[in-house]
Amino acid sequence: MAIATYRGEKTVAELATRLYTRLTLRQRDKAETALLRANPRLRDLKRLPQGAVLEVPTLDGPRLRARGDAAAPIDEIGDEVSAALKAFGQRLETRFETDQKDTQVALKLMKSAAFKRVLGEHPELEKSVNLAAKTLTTRSKATVERQKAVETALKQALAGLEKGPR
């Protein structure tokens, strides 16, 4: 039995068409049934994540499509995990950048003349504002350290995927 990965097909029929060559209607029905039997998760494609590993049964009649890239299934899975990790890293980088910008905007506001003027009218808030500024500064530094740790972990994971199994 071969394996393949789910690529977001909308129906099991669409998946069968991608995996097998020259299917008649009857053969496609047979292929769908076999795919569902081998992969019960296909019954709810909306919940199945792209890249999910699928068993592809060998059938009498329809033949499996030849893989254009001739990569081993484990290589295909490694490539997909690698792509997912890179995308995750990019999303995290954007979130870290947004967090840092938001923190800088808040700190700049707290140091502005207008804010200090309002604070002068309400001295009871000064202690809270100073604590908030200190907390934001500490949080900003911790976020930078966390970002470095995540980047290092992602680089290590990607390097491990590039090396492949030992």
- For the stretch 117-127, pLDDT in tens is 999 999 899 99
> By percentage, how much of the chain surpasses pLDDT 70?
91
CA angle 48, 49, 55 (to 5 degrees): 65
CA distance 86 to 80: 10
- For the stretch 80-121, pLDDT in tens is 888 889 999 999 999 999 999 999 999 999 999 999 999 999
CA distance 140 to 96: 10
Residue 28 has pLDDT above 50, yes or no: yes
> Which amino acid would we find at residue 6?
Y
Q: Check residue 162 and give its pLDDT.
A: 78
Q: What pairs with residue 54 in β-bridges?
A: 4
**Within 10 A of 155 (CB to CB), how many other CB atoms are there?**
12
